Structure 1
Amino acid sequence: MAFLDIRKLSKNYGSTVALDGVDLSVNAGEFVTLLGPSGSGKTTLLMSIAGFTQPDDGGIVIDGVDVTDVDPEDRDFGVVFQGYALFPHMTVADNIAFPLKVRKWAKADISAKVEEMLSLVGLDKLAGRKPRELSGGQQQRAALARALSFGPRILLLDEPLSALDRSLREIMQRELKRLHKETGVTFIFVTHDQEEAYAMSDRIAVFHNGRIVQMGAPRDIYRKPASLFVAGFLGGNNIVTARYLSAEHKLKLFGDYLPAPPQFDPAQHGNGEVTLWVRPENLSFSEAGGGYSFPVTVLDISFTGSSERVVVGTVDGQDLMIQASSESAAGLQIGQQIRCSFNPGAIGFLASD
């Protein structure tokens, strides 16, 4: 049995279905991310695990014990919210000590634990400051120290990085990975940011319309999206259509013909209209050769810092986004006719309905 076992969890708000029979198993010590767009059900599930939201149906089992109806304070979970929820009138040290005092720890034990947590999150020299005197990253460290201070069985994190700027988010991602490794606590993390999920997670549960539509290791989900939604939501994939010609075992794609690659299975992926995806980084500019080559028209060019984002139109009316180096995109003009190419082995096919 998994350490955390969610069984057929459902929650409705009037006519709105927030959770639709969700099943989720998490092993002890895992870092699992609940990933999805706003309104997909991920935060509702997190709040149900914490005990702040009561599900309409289903169960929550921790280490073999059903806690579905157990009060939040008796679940022994740490929670870090998006706004950190630090007590503004308390110092950093007092914020960390608060859950220990509530649990009636001895003063000497509280003092030792506070020192340990301050050291763990690198706030030793800021113990006497109030939250308003801290930066966003420092506030987050204080909130993490408080949530971990009493040794929770699970740490629940509700988009705690969303208010930070990009560089600080990347620093805190590394900090969270370090804290997870050093403490061994089971982390359940909510985000809508795919890169954030990829960077930290052991496994990702992708949410859509109150359901988990795919779950797996980050690389597996990225390389093999299971549905049109997952393919479009993760990684900015280009979703395009082709027509399979069974007699020739070819795909009519972008106005030309491509021999069906080995990963294409007519029985699984369709016999007729086919949906496939290709990542922006796997498309390149080419005059000829380089795999499958086809003509396009440049529609838009955007500088993104480390690369150029180029949108092109194909002869059959489909748009593609290409992530290219500044060198390869140099000299391109909107309206220019060029050729693109990709390795057929790099594309993926979605199962037909």
Structure 2
Amino acid sequence: MAFLDIRRLRKSYGAAVALGGVDLSVEEGEFITLLGPSGSGKTTLLMSIAGFIKPDEGGIVLAGTDVTDLEPEDRNFGLVFQGYALFPHLSVRDNVAFPLKVRKWEKRAIAERVEAMLALVGLDQLAARKPRELSGGQQQRVALARALAYSPRLLLLDEPLSALDRSLRETMQRELKRLHRETGVTFIFVTHDQEEAYAMSDRIAVFQNGRIVQIGAPRDIYRNPASRFVAGFIGGNNLIRARFSPETGTLSLLGREIAAPQHFDVALHHRDGDVSAWIRSEDIAIGGAEAGFESFDVTVIDRAFIGTGERIAVRTGDDEELALVIPDGAADAVVVGAPLQCRVRPDLIGFLLPD
């Protein structure tokens, strides 16, 4: 049995299904991310684990004990919100000490634990400050220190980095990975940000309409999306429609006919000839034919500088719109409205099961 077992969890609000029979197993010490768009059920699941939402059906089992009906304060879980929820009138030290006082720890033990937690998050020199005297990143560290102070069995994080700017968010991602590694606490993290999920997680559970539609290691989900929804949501993929001809063994896509690649499974990947495929933006290059590549003609419809390179939007001969990401300087000859030749390796075209 896993450390945390969530079994057939259901929750509805009238006709709206928030959780549609979710199953999830989490190992002790794991960092797992619940990823999905707004309204997909990820926060409802997190709040059900925390005890703030009571499921209609199903169960939550922690280390062999059913905690489904336990009150939040009896679960010994830490929770970090997007808004930090710090007490504005208390110092950093007193914010971290608060949950320990509620649990009636001895004064000496509280003092020792608070100092250890502030050192862990690098705020021992700011212990006397009030939250308003801290930056957003420092406030987030206080919230983390407070949530970890009483050694929770789980740390639940509800989009805690979404209010931070990009550079600070990346710093806090590294900080969270360090805290996870050093404390050994099981982390369950909610986000709608794919890059955030890739950067920190041992595994990612992708949500759609109240259900987990794919779960796996970040690289596995990125390289092998299980559905059209996952391929589109995780970012960086061009979704394209194609046609397969059993008579010729060819695929009609990107405005031309190509031989079906070896990894195209004739029995699995088409229905009545219709095929769903995907190509990562970075796997499409500009330029003519080259050994091992298939070339195709497009029309440029937009280009945008994105710092590390350029994002080029193009339209194929069969009216598919694609995005390419190419190095800065490589797009000097690309002109909006003009024709362009592109190429892709067939083994880098992914195929999905029929919808």
TM-score, normalization by structure 1: 0.99
SS in structure 1 of the partner of residue 188 of structure 2: strand
Give the alignment of 1:48-59 within 5 angstroms: 48-59=48-59
The answer on 1:176 being equivalent to 2:176 is yes
2:209 maps to a residue whose letter is N
SS at match of 2:54: coil
**Aligned: 1:292 with 2:300:** no
Amino acid at match of 1:95: N
Taking the TM superposition and a 5 Å limit, the aligned residue runs for 1:160-239 are: 160-239=160-239
1:90: how far off? 0.5
Displacement of 1:288 in angstroms is 2.2
**Structure 1 match to 2:140:** 140
- How far residue 335 of structure 1 moved from its aligned partner, in angstroms, is 1.0
Partner of 1:155: 155
Pairwise CA distance, 1:206 = 0.2
Deviation at residue 204 of structure 1 after TM alignment: 0.3
Separation of aligned partners in 1, 2:303 and 2:354: 33
What amino acid is aligned across from residue 136 of structure 2 in structure 1? Answer: G
Q: Does 2:344 correspond to 1:342? A: yes
Aligned mates of 2:343, 2:27 — CA distance in 1: 43
Deviation at 1:102, TM superposition (A): 0.8
Cα distance in structure 2, aligned partners of 1:38 and 1:336: 38
1:249 aligns with 2:249: yes
Find the residue that maps to 1:125 and give its secondary structure: helix
Aligned residue number for residue 81 of structure 2: 81
Mapped partners of 2:253, 2:30: distance in 1:
42
Q: Name the CA distance, whole Å, in 1 between partners of 2:119 and 2:281.
A: 43
The AA in structure 1 aligned to 2:70 is V
Q: Partner letter of residue 333 of structure 1? A: V
Higher mean C-alpha deviation, range 17-26 or range 254-263: 254-263
Give how far 1:255 is off. 2.4
User: Which runs of 4 or more aligned residues in structure 1 lie more than 3 Å from their structure 2 counterparts after TM superposition?
Assistant: none
Aligned to 2:39: 39
User: CA–CA distance in 2 between the matches of 1:213 and 1:252?
Assistant: 28
Deviation string for 1:141-185 (max 9, x for gaps)?
Answer: 000000000000000000000000000000000000000000000
The residue identity in structure 2 corresponding to 1:152 is: P
Offset of 1:286 from its aligned partner?
Answer: 1.1
Structure 1 residue 325 displacement after superposition? 1.1
2: distance between equivalents of 1:55 and 1:49? 10
Q: How many Å apart are 1:287 and its aligned residue?
A: 2.0
5+ residue gaps, structure 1: none
Measured against aligned partners, the alpha-carbon deviations of 1:262-291 in whole angstroms (never above 9, x if no partner) come to 110010101511110001000010122250
- SS of 1:235's partner is coil
The question of 1:283 aligning with 2:277 is answered no
TM-aligned CA deviation for residue 254 of structure 1: 2.2
Distance 2:162 2:101 in 1: 30
What TM-score, normalized by structure 2, do the two folds share? 0.98
User: 1:124 maps to which residue?
Assistant: 124
Q: Distance in 2 between matches of 1:255 and 1:127?
A: 63
Q: Are 1:23 and 2:23 counterparts?
A: yes
For residue 97 of structure 2, what is the aligned residue in structure 1? 97
For 2:236 and 2:281, locate their aligned partners in 1 and report how far apart those are by CA, in whole Å: 7
Structure 1: which amino acid aligns with 2:124? D
Q: Distance in 2 between matches of 1:331 and 1:274?
A: 33
Query: What is residue 321 of structure 1 aligned with on the other side?
Result: 323
Question: In 2, Cα distance between the equivalents of 1:326 and 1:262?
Answer: 33
* CA-to-aligned-CA distance 1:270-319 (integer Å, 9 cap, x gap): 15111100010000101222501001000001111111110001111111
What is the alpha-carbon distance in structure 1 between the residues aligned to residue 7 and residue 233 of structure 2? 26
Equivalent position amino acid for 1:203 in 2: R
SS in 2 for 1:266: coil
- Paired residue secondary structure (1:59): strand
Once the two structures are superposed, residues 25-57 of structure 1 have per-residue CA deviations (whole angstroms, 9 ceiling, x without a partner) of 000000000000000000000000000111111
Is 2:13 the counterpart of 1:13?
yes
Partners of 2:227 and 2:262 in 1: CA distance: 20
Q: Aligned partners of 2:282, 2:303: CA distance in 1, in Å? A: 15
CA RMSD, 1 decimal? 0.8
Distance of 1:251 and 1:332 partners within structure 2 = 28
Q: Counterpart of 2:342 in structure 1: which amino acid?
A: C
C-alpha separation between the residues in 2 aligned to 1:254 and 1:24? 38
**Displacement of 1:15:** 1.2
Determine the C-alpha separation between the residues in 2 that align with 1:136 and 1:259: 54
SS of aligned partner of 1:206: strand
What's the offset of the Cα at 1:338?
A: 1.2
The one-letter amino acid of 1:141's match is R
Matches of 1:206 and 1:242 in 2, distance apart?
A: 25
Letter in 2 for 1:339: Q
- For residues 188-236 of structure 1, what are the alpha-carbon distances to aligned partners after superposition, in whole Å with 9 as ceiling and x for unaligned? 0000000000000000000000000000000000000000100000123
The Cα shift of 1:24 comes to: 0.5
SS of equivalent to 1:321 = strand
CA distance in 2, matches of 1:260, 1:57: 46
Q: Give unpaired runs (5+ residues) of structure 2.
A: none
Once the two structures are aligned, what percentage of the paired residues are identical? 66
